[in-house]
Each structure stands twice: as structure tokens, then as C-alpha cells.
């Protein structure tokens, strides 16, 4: 059997067109983009073209894009940068279901005297706009709420949340690591001040990302050096990967409309197939307001480890719960959503991608039917 990859939320392969765009910058075009000779100039041009392509996908100005090493760095830049600008003691708001790349910088600043409110979510993983409005205090310096959740795929009503934030003059950061390249992420429609992009979640290489910083928004840099990226992110640019990120953005744009519905159908085929196979499955996350590729499914009566074993090492998925010996720790996302223990312990994230086929889905269903049913 060929291996089956259903873990695209963890990382995607580099798309062939992306690799093709990168190759010259890994070989013949190697100049330092800051150099004024032609070796440098051609590389600078490639970076600026990539910046345009990222900006096109997000619907912003190229000058509002800063290249980073990925989502973790972009998130840290915003949270720690705003903390530094706001001064000790100020207040931050985030949600309980953020990725550690937001939660940990928040916990870090708490240790330095900042206050952080971690908003709860409902059973679908949605933040309540009224709870956000109530949480805002006169010294709230930043709201950081993710776009689509990496585990369950639930998509927040960011436009609704940013209306509340802007009416109270609080800047809004959106970790869109899982949504850029999968669904429309136009910054003007979302109304965000900062938005995080992760290349390897949509067919660009690992170790490259971007941060959208709305024009006129003040953010002190985290690193200091020779002034690259308008002084926001000094250090000689990760040229080939940046070119790859630009190419991935260009590639994603026309696919948004076709791939979303196709992957949603495949996910439905998976869920319905498991039900028909007689397995007691439950979908976690919002049934509609969710990423079309993300299917977090609880197998009632089974631990995640048993489901993973039933799938074998050559079918790649992610467990929604960590098993250590007899102890099963449900993910913080499922706990925040109030998913009962008997379901959260058997949660598996299937995340589909451009290469996923009906045949692969059917193989997965068959394998689980054979290995789990009656156990
Ligand atoms: C929502 C979200 N934010 C941030 C990250 C961190 O991305 P990276 O490890 O590429 O920095 C991830 C990765 O899974 C994610 O899903």
C-alpha cells in the first residue's frame, strides 16, 4: 500500500511550481539582496516580487508585509513587541484555544507583570463577541485571536470581533497560520491590524512566513541589526524560501474556490464512511464554520492511540489527545470546548490537502472498519 498523508495541517509538501520558482535562488542567483551589484539587484527584485504576491493574496500593500521565519516568530513579534511598546502591567486578551505560538508568548509576558485574559469558547470553539467586549479594559494593549483553529478547524468571526476591538481602539492580531491559502483571508474584510502567515501550511517551504502590519501601526522590532525588512526583521533574507512563499501565494489564489469544496466533500465522505462502517464517530468543531480540509473526529470507545495503531504508521494523521501510559491528556482545545472526556480521548485530526483522493479516503475508512470495529 502507498503511504497516505492526511496531516496537511501539520505541514504540506512544497508544490512543484513553488520549488521551480525557488531553484534559481538555491543555485545561480545567490547574491546578497542588499548588494548594489547585479547579483544583489536580481535577488532584491525577487524578494520584492514575492512581497507583492503575499500582499495580493491578503489584499494589502506590499509595504505592509514583513518576512519572518514562520508563524511562531510572527506571533512573538506582535505580542512581545506590543508588550514592550505598551509598558509593564498592561492587559492582553487572547483565547483559550490558541496555538502554543500565541499562548506561550502570552504566558511569558505574564511572568513580566502583564495581565492576560484567556477568553473561553463555546462547544464549537467560537469566541463570544460579548465576552470579548466585556473583557476589554482601559489598559488593553492587544487582542490576539486566531482565524481558524489548527485542531478542529473552527473559523472565528474575525470581522465581527475586530469591529468591537476598533470601536475601543484596541489593535487586533490574527494568527491566520491555518487559514491563509485555504480560505479567503483579505485583511480589509477581516479588519485586523496584524496577521500571521505560515508558509509550510500552504505548500511553501518550512521556516518562512510573514507578518502583515497595517500601515501606520507602531510595532517595535524584537531583533536589532542591519535594518532589513524596514528594520522590523534584520538579518540577510531567507531568499529562496521567500521566493517560494510568494509563489505559494500566487498558486493558492485560483485554487481557493475549487479546492475548498473538493476537500470538504472528501471530508464528508470520510465521516459518512466511518458512520456507515458502524463506528461510533462524532465531529468536533463547528459543522459549517470550519476549514474545509480539517476533520477532527472522536471515536467513542477508543483512545486516540488505538485509532492511530489501527491506521498504522503509513497513514499520517494527528492525535487529538496525548497518551502517556494509561493516562490520556485531551488537547487544551477540546477541553476548552467542553468535549466530554470519553470523546476527547479518542479524537483524531484528519487534515486533507490538494493531493488527497477519494481512493485514499476509502482506504482509511476500510482500514478503520477492519481494525477498530468490534474492539
Ligand atoms: C494556528 C497556528 N499558529 C502557529 C503555528 C506555528 O507555526 P510554525 O511552527 O510554522 O511557526 C501553527 C503550526 O501548527 C499553527 O497551526
Query: What's the CATH number where 206 sits?
Result: 3.40.640.10
Question: In 3-state terms, what secondary structure has residue 86?
Answer: helix
Phi, psi of 102 (to 5 degrees): -110, -45
Average pLDDT, the chain: 96
Q: Which atom of ligand 1 is nearest to the CA of 206?
A: 10
> For residue 160, how far is its CA from the centre of ligand 1 (angstroms)?
23
Residue 313: predicted pLDDT: 95
CB burial class (10 A; 0-12, 13-18, 19+) of residue 169?
Answer: exposed
Report d(CA 162, CA 174) in Å as an integer. 10
Note down the domain range covering 68. 16-252
Asked if residue 230 and residue 281 are part of one domain, the reply reads: no
The DSSP 8-state label assigned to residue 292 in this structure reads T
Degrees to nearest 5, angle at CA 203 with 27 and 239:
35
Instruction: At 318, list the grid cell.
Output: 494527528
Choosing from 223, 252, 281, the residue where a domain stops is: 252
Same domain, 236 and 273: no
Kind of pairing, strands 115-119 and 91-95?
parallel
Confidence of residue 146 (pLDDT cuts 50, 70, 90): very high
Cell numbers standing for residue 27: 543555485
Q: Which of 3-17, 241-255, 311-325, 358-372 has the lowest mean pLDDT?
A: 311-325
Q: Are 348 and 319 in contact (CB under 8 A)?
A: yes
Same-domain status, 260 and 248: no
User: pLDDT exceeding 90 applies to what percent of the chain?
Assistant: 95
Same domain, 209 and 89: yes
| Number of domain units in the chain | 2
Which has more confidence, 181 or 88? 181
Residue-wise pLDDT for 265-282, tens only, equals 999 999 999 999 999 999
For residue 138, the CA-to-ligand 1 centroid distance in Å is 30
Could you give the angle at the alpha carbon of 12 between the alpha carbons of 9 and 16, nearest 5°? 155
Alpha-carbon span 84 to 102, nearest angstrom: 16
Catalytic status, residue 323: yes
Q: Which of 29-33, 304-308, 359-363, 370-374 has the lowest mean pLDDT?
A: 370-374
Residues 67 and 158 in one domain: yes
Are 361 and 353 in contact by the 8 Å Cβ rule? The answer is no
Q: Specify the pLDDT at position 325.
A: 65
What's the rounded mean pLDDT across residues 245-273?
Answer: 97
3-state class (DSSP) for residue 235 = coil
CATH number reported for the structural domain that contains residue 358 in this entry: 3.90.1150.10
Final residue belonging to a domain, choices 230, 252, 274: 252
* Nearest partner of 339 among 371, 372, 304, 373, judged by Cα: 304
- Mean pLDDT for 213-240 is 95
Residue nearest to atom 16 of ligand 1 (CA): 150
Q: What is the pLDDT of residue 154?
A: 98
Q: 47 and 194, same structural domain? A: yes
Dist. CA 259–CA 354, nearest whole Å: 7
pLDDT tens-place string over residues 115-136: 999 999 999 999 999 999 999 9
Tell me how far the alpha carbon of residue 288 lies from the centroid of ligand 1, in angstroms: 23
The pLDDT, as a whole number, for residue 359 is: 98
Residues in the ligand 1 pocket, defined by CB under 6 Å: 70-72, 99, 101, 146, 150, 175, 177-178, 198, 200
Distance 98 CA to ligand 1 centre (A): 10
Q: 286 near 155, Cβ under 8 Å?
A: yes
Residues 37 and 107 placed together within one structural domain of the fold: yes
Q: Does one domain contain both 239 and 301?
A: no
- Does residue 217 or residue 326 have the better pLDDT? 217
Residues 57 and 193 in one domain: yes
Closest by CA to 174, choosing from 68, 10, 58, is: 58
Q: What is the mean pLDDT of residues 319-341?
A: 85
Cα torsion angle, 300, 306, 311, 317, sign: positive
Q: Which three cell numbers stand for residue 14?
A: 512544497
Please give the pLDDT value at position 328.
73
Which residue in this structure is represented by grid cell 474584510? Answer: 189
Question: Which of 69, 198, 290 most suits a substitution to test ligand 1, by most atoms within 8 Å of the C-beta?
Answer: 198
CB atoms within 10 A of CB 276: 10
| Same domain as 120, residue 214 | yes
Give mean pLDDT, residues 246-256. Answer: 97
Residue 326: predicted pLDDT: 66
| Predicted local distance difference test score (pLDDT) of residue 112 | 94
Q: Percentage of the chain with pLDDT > 70? A: 98
CA atoms 106, 110, 115, 121: torsion sign:
positive
DSSP string, 299-333: ETTS-HHHHHHHH-TTEE-EESEEEETTEEEE-HH
Same domain, 317 and 195: no
* Residues 235 and 88 both lie in one domain: yes
Amino acid at each position: 500500500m502507498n503511504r497516505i498523508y492526511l496531516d496537511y495541517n501539520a505541514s504540506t509538501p512544497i508544490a512543484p511550481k513553488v520549488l521551480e520558482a525557488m531553484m534559481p535562488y538555491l543555485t545561480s542567483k545567490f547574491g546578497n539582496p542588499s548588494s548594489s551589484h547585479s547579483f544583489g539587484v536580481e535577488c532584491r527584485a525577487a524578494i520584492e516580487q514575492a512581497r507583492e504576491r503575499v500582499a495580493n493574496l491578503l489584499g494589502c500593500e506590499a509595504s505592509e508585509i514583513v518576512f519572518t521565519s514562520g508563524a511562531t516568530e510572527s506571533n512573538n513579534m506582535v505580542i512581545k513587541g506590543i508588550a514592550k511598546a505598551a509598558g509593564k502591567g498592561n492587559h492582553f486578551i487572547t483565547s483559550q484555544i490558541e496555538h502554543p505560538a500565541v499562548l506561550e508568548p502570552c504566558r511569558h509576558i505574564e511572568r513580566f507583570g502583564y495581565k492576560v485574559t484567556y477568553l473561553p469558547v463555546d462547544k464549537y470553539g467560537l469566541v463570544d463577541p460579548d465576552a470579548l467586549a466585556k473583557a476589554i479594559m482601559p489598559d488593553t494593549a492587544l487582542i490576539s485571536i486566531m482565524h481558524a483553529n489548527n485542531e478542529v478547524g473552527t473559523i472565528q468571526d474575525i470581522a465581527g470581533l475586530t469591529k468591537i476591538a476598533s470601536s475601543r481602539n484596541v489593535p487586533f492580531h490574527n494568527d491566520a497560520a491555518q487559514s491563509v491559502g485555504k480560505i479567503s483571508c483579505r485583511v480589509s474584510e477581516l479588519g485586523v491590524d496584524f496577521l500571521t502567515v505560515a508558509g509550510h501550511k500552504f505548500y511553501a517551504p518550512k521556516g518562512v512566513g510573514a507578518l502583515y502590519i497595517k500601515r501606520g501601526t507602531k510595532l517595535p522590532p524584537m531583533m536589532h541589526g542591519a535594518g532589513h525588512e524596514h528594520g522590523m526583521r534584520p538579518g540577510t533574507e531567507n531568499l529562496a524560501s521567500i521566493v517560494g512563499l510568494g509563489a505559494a501565494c500566487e498558486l493558492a489564489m485560483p485554487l481557493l474556490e475549487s479546492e475548498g469544496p473538493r476537500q470538504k466533500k472528501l471530508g464528508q465522505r470520510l465521516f459518512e464512511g466511518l458512520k456507515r462502517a458502524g463506528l461510533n464517530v462524532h465531529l468536533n468543531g463547528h459543522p459549517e464554520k470550519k476549514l474545509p480540509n480539517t476533520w477532527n473526529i472522536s471515536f467513542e470507545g477508543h483512545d486516540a492511540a488505538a485509532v492511530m495503531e489501527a491506521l498504522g504508521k503509513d497513514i499520517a494523521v494527528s492525535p487529538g489527545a496525548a497518551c502517556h501510559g494509561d493516562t490520556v491528556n485531551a488537547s487544551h482545545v477540546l477541553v476548552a470546548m467542553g468535549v466530554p472526556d470519553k470523546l476527547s480521548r479518542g479524537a483524531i485530526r484528519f487534515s486533507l490537502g490538494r493531493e488527497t483522493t477519494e481512493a485514499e479516503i476509502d482506504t482509511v475508512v476500510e482500514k478503520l472498519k477492519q481494525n477498530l470495529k468490534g474492539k
